[in-house]
């Protein structure tokens, strides 16, 4: 009798040979990879295909199921744009530097900080060479780091102008946090300096890149709920004791309005796609509180747009956290809790269906809005195209905020000068 182990091995070889032949046949028929030797070749449904330099997959789920997003297609490390992050405060350490891990076209290449110790620690955490950790006095040394193509200015508002101008002078593109500056005159100077130097300037209006806010814009443009009639935008938070740079007029430019009220103002503009023609405002600070000696605690303001849309906005450092955007249409309402937050956005549509008024919550894949804005700027630099939120967009808001302050000071409506040029660049590319 033949040896059982030999027989089993022989049967296995025969079976494997058969599977291999079948795999070759499947591969030839489907034009797909032949797969690992000895196994059936996988189908395109399973392994995808290369299209326009990236891997894509056919839909593998039932039509009743939502489609999965395409796999990320990051640039190769040597093709990504290097940034110098200027200032290592909370925003840089809690949001911006971690966001680079989700970027596909960008990476942190240098740090500028007033604390060498902190710079050394952070550089080690993010794999940045210690030689690329600079002090503020050494900022111009960035010109000697060819990997640094752009700077991300994350300093207090009153310092944005200086470091934008210094970046432009050494030929580096600038991504600047909002608000753009302390005054419209400073913002104008920044726009002109970058234009003369031939570098791009973008203001970090993260919400204009965030998926839920993008969906709200699309919903308004679609006319699905009829005409937009009214906007409510609230951004309030209860701030603690000083000292904080936010309570210094020299560093912050103002109080709640430029810091968090700006989100409301900018949202009314990108949601409507219009510019306001009239502004009203009221300002308030509790008497006797040292925090409000130089800046305001609260600012409420109203805007009227050419289409007839009215907007009511509230910003405050004195009320519990609320960052809600509500859009009132002829045929329904859209509510966006946490519209201006870093995470947690939602989009709830209320409208009549038949004889019933119901609610529908629309689910959208979360994406890191800091990573989206950074990568958008990188891609526009690499393509030599203007960004979606250029310096002109920030300058426009600076002028409107000055009008809001004037309306509050004079306690009467203020007419708004019409925009002389486009302030917003091409829309971000959607995947």
Cα–Cα distance between 413 and 277 in angstroms, integer?
Answer: 10
Nearest to 327, CA basis, from 232, 236, 398: 232
Query: Going along 180-317, which residue ranges are E strands?
Result: 201-203, 228-238, 278-284, 298-304, 310-316
77-206 placed in CATH 3.30.360.10: no
Q: What is the dihedral of CA 240, 242, 247, 248, to 10 degrees?
A: -160
CA quadruple 290, 292, 293, 299: dihedral, nearest 10: -170
Tokens of 47: 């392994």
Cα-Cα-Cα-Cα dihedral sign, residues 58, 64, 70, 71: negative
Spot the catalytic one: 152, 205, 209, 263: 263
At a CB cut-off of 8 Å and minimum separation 6, what does 413 contact?
278, 279, 280, 407
Structure-block tokens of residue 353? 């269906």
Domain boundaries, the chain: 6-44, 77-206, 207-366+391-414
Which of the residues 178, 209, 212, 247 is marked catalytic? 178
Tell me the pairing of strands 325-329 and 278-284: unpaired
With 0-12 CB in 10 A as exposed, 13-18 as middle and 19+ as buried, what is 230?
middle
For this structure, is 178 an active site residue?
Answer: yes
Cα–Cα–Cα angle for 377, 383, 388, rounded to 5 degrees = 40
pLDDT tens digits for the chain (431 residues)? 444 443 444 444 334 444 444 443 333 333 446 678 999 888 998 888 998 888 888 998 888 888 888 888 888 888 999 999 999 999 999 999 999 999 999 999 999 999 999 999 999 999 999 999 999 999 999 999 999 999 999 999 999 999 999 999 999 999 999 999 999 999 999 999 999 999 999 999 999 999 999 999 999 999 999 999 999 999 999 999 988 999 999 999 999 999 999 999 999 999 999 999 999 999 999 999 999 999 999 999 999 999 999 999 999 999 999 999 999 999 999 999 999 999 999 999 999 888 888 999 999 999 999 999 999 999 999 999 999 999 999 999 999 999 999 999 999 999 998 888 889 999 998 76
pTM of the shown model: 0.88
- Computed over its alpha carbons, how large is the radius of gyration of the chain? 27
Q: Which CATH architecture has domain 207-366+391-414?
A: 2-Layer Sandwich (3.30)
Query: Which tokens in the block code for residue 261?
Result: 């009220």
């Amino acid at each position: 009798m033949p040896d059982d182990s030999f027989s089993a091995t022989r049967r296995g070889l025969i079976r494997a040979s058969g599977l291999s032949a079948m795999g070759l046949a499947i591969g030839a028929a489907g034009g797909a990879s032949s797969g690992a030797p000895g196994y059936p070749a996988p189908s395109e449904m399973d392994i995808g295909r290369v299209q326009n330099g990236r891997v894509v997959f056919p839909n593998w789920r039932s039509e009743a199921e939502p489609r999965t997003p395409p796999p990320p297609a990051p640039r190769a490390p040597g093709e990504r744009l290097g940034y110098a992050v200027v200032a290592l405060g909370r925003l840089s350490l809690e949001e911006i530097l971690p966001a680079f891990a989700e970027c596909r076209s960008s990476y942190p290449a240098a740090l500028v900080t007033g604390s060498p110790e902190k710079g050394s620690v952070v550089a080690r955490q993010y794999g940045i060479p210690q030689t690329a950790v600079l002090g503020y006095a050494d900022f111009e040394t960035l010109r000697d780091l060819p990997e640094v193509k752009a700077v991300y200015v994350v300093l207090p508002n009153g310092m944005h102008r200086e470091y934008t101008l210094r970046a432009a002078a050494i030929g580096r593109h600038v991504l600047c946090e909002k608000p753009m500056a302390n005054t419209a005159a400073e913002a104008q100077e920044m726009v002109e300096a970058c234009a003369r130097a031939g570098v791009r300037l973008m203001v970090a209006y993260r919400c204009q890149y965030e998926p839920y806010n993008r969906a709200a814009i699309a919903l308004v443009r679609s006319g699905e709920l009829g005409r937009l009639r009214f906007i409510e935008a609230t951004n309030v938070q209860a701030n603690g004791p000083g000292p904080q740079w936010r309570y210094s007029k020299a560093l912050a430019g103002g109080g709640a309005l430029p810091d968090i009220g700006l989100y409301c103002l900018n949202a009314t503009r990108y949601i409507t796609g219009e510019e306001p023609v009239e502004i009203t405002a009221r300002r308030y600070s509790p008497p006797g509180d040292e925090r409000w000696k130089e800046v305001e605690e609260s600012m409420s303001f109203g805007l009227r747009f050419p289409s007839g849309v009215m907007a009511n906005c509230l910003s405050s450092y004195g009320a519990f956290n609320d960052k809600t955007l509500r859009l009132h249409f002829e045929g329904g309402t859209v509510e966006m809790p946490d519209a201006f937050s870093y995470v947690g956005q939602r989009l709830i549509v209320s409208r009549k269906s038949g004889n019933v008024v119901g609610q529908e919550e629309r689910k959208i894949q979360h994406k890191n809005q800091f990573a989206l804005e950074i990568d958008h700027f990188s891609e526009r630099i690499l393509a030599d195209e203007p960004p979606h939120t250029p310096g002109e967009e920030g300058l426009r808001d600076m002028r409107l905020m000055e009008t809001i302050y004037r309306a509050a000071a004079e306690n009467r409506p203020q007419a708004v000068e019409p925009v002389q040029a486009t302030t917003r660049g091409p829309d971000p590319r959607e995947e």
